[in-house]
Amino acid sequence: MAGPPSGASAAPPSIVILLADDLSYGDIGVHGTADAPTPLIDKLAAQGVRFTDAYATSPVCGPSRAGLISGRYPSRIGVSRNKDVLPAAVKTIGEVFQSAGYRTALFGKWHLGEGPLNANRRGFEEFDGFHYRAEKYEDKVGEFLPHFFTRKSLDFIRQEDARPFLIIVSFSDPDTPIRPPAKYLERIEHALSPLRRGYLGLVMALDEAVGTIMSGLEEAGLEEETLVVFANDNGGPGVSDRCAAKNTSSNTPLRGFKQELYEGGIRVPLIMRWTDTLPVRVTFEEPVTLMDLLPTAASPAQVEVRTPLDGVDLLPHLLETPAEPAHPQLFWTHHGDLAIREGPWKLLLVQDSAPQLFNLARDQSETTNLAAAEPARARSNATCSRGLIARSSTPNGPARGVSRHHPPERSSAVTVPRRSGSMSPARAGRTPSCSTTEI
Ligand SMILES: [Ca+2]
């Protein structure tokens, strides 16, 4: 079992995961969109680490959430399509923390099963939310959902209880339905299209909810003993024809949309803040994944994870410079399409299309297909990709264990840096070869 990192309180921290739904990569202020009204999310980024190359495990909700909740590739646990449910045998982050004595709650969208598979039967002792029909649920509770879930979250945080807690606030915004209260719309540029204005109104409401929950933590005196994560489940649908639920989100500068394995479908905003423990005003530029949230939260919480994981503990990568990257390779599958990222290289195999190879360090917008210019690398990545996916397609197959990436024990502690700038430049441009490691 790992201990807390140097500089952190010896007490297990509480964990707050704020998850947006269909928020595009480009539509937060720190990612550059001029009209995105997110000062409070931007403030959170300035108080911690912003990951430039964070990935969902899928370009759609269900499998992405399965990856986050379990710390495993969704294809490995039988969740490949939006309609799949999380099998009862798969441990959730709620069950892991609950068994370690944490209070646990999930408010919002669950999307991983109903009845015996509902969140309150999967390790979350408090649950208010819905499977996936946000509009129906909003009508039922009679309150704008970001307000409702924020209120529930604050009530949970303020409970008189000495136990640390894990709370996932799984907002269903800015996914459809797009019907923000007028007070948000009034603050959006009127020259924009009505749909874009509505979407930005939801983004503004999401930003306000994040800020309100952060204020609640501060007022409760819990800021320094809480690891806060802000993330999103999959790329923005924009106006893509592949998405029935369009919300005019902008993934710029990334190519593609939700439902696609281009960067715009899978690369998502990710921020971590742990006051007085993690560095501040820092960007982390190596590939990471939402599967990493479970082991990263479990490590300082001294929670023993008795289940195989594909995610890794990111704390050693944030607090020092390990010899190896967190993920030498990452891969994705979606309805027969495949993608693999290895260092700066990304190979995309879309059915009935020629292979596409991109160098994301030089071409994050995926404009130039290098498959013809780099045939050996394309072939190597294709072979690797198919091998990884074949090995991962068996539910509960072999996985990387959390033990590979224990953070330093307190006796061999490093000094937690208080620095700004970008991290991990030492590995910039490295192109690790495809290993035969089972992942
Ligand atoms: Ca989604």
- The Å distance, Cα 59 to ligand 1 centre, comes to 8
Q: Which domain covers residue 228, as residue numbers?
A: 14-319
Identify the pLDDT of residue 354.
93
Distance 6 CA to ligand 1 centre (A): 36
The verdict on 308 and 334 lying in the same domain is no
Cα of 233 from ligand 1 centre, angstroms: 5
Token pair recorded at residue 95 = 């069950």
Indicate whether 439 pLDDT > 60: no
DSSP letter assigned to residue 398: -
Kindly state whether residues 264 and 376 are assigned to the same domain: no
Q: Which residues of 273-307 are buried (b: 16+ CB within 10 A; e: fewer)?
A: bbbebbbbebbbbbbbbbbbbbbbbbbbbebebeb
Which residues have CB less than 5 Å away from ligand 1 (the ion)?
21-22, 61, 233-234
State what percent of residues in the chain have pLDDT above 70: 84
From its phi and psi, is residue 366 left (phi > 0), alpha (psi between -120 and 50) or beta?
left
Q: Compute the distance from residue 395 Cα to the ligand 1 centre, in Å.
A: 23
In this structure, the answer to whether residues 271 and 333 fall within a common structural domain is no
Final residue belonging to a domain, choices 295, 319, 343: 319
Distance 245 CA to ligand 1 centre (A): 10
Neighbours of 425 (CB within 10 A): 10
> What pLDDT was estimated at residue 7?
53
418 pLDDT above the threshold of 80 = no
Q: How far is the CA of 3 from the centre of ligand 1 (A)?
A: 34
Round the average pLDDT of the chain to a whole number and report it.
86
221 with 342, same domain?
no
| 52-93 per-position pLDDT tens digit | 999 999 999 999 999 999 999 999 999 999 999 999 999 999
The CA 290 to ligand 1 mean position distance, Å, reads: 13
Tell me: do 307 and 334 sit in the same domain. Answer: no
pLDDT in tens, 110-162: 999 999 999 999 999 999 999 988 999 999 999 999 999 999 999 999 999 99
Within-domain flag for 87:
yes
Which pTM does this prediction carry? Answer: 0.89
What is the model's pLDDT at position 318?
A: 95
- Domain containing residue 239: CATH number: 3.40.720.10
Q: Which residue pairs, CB below 8 angstroms and at least 24 apart, start in 351-359?
A: 355/382, 357/381
Task: Verify that 65 and 160 share a domain, yes or no.
Answer: yes
Residues 312 and 334 grouped into a single domain: no
Q: How far is the CA of 20 from the centre of ligand 1 (A)?
A: 8
3-state helix, strand and coil shares in percent for the chain, rounded to the nearest 5:
30, 15, 50
Kindly state the tokens that stand for 182: 């007028």
Q: What total number of domains does the chain contain?
A: 2
429 occurs within a structural domain: no
Distance 130 CA to ligand 1 centre (A): 14
Q: Mean pLDDT, to the nearest integer, of 166-186?
A: 94
Determine the distance separating the centroid of ligand 1 and the alpha carbon of 60, expressed in angstroms. 6
- From the CA of 49, how far away is ligand 1's center (Å)? 23
> Does any domain span residue 410?
no
Residue 279 token pair:
């560095």
Residue 407 scores a pLDDT above 90: no
198 with 295, same domain: the answer is: yes
d(CA 334, CA 234): 12
Distance 232 CA to ligand 1 centre (A): 8
Domain boundary residue among 255, 287, 319?
Answer: 319
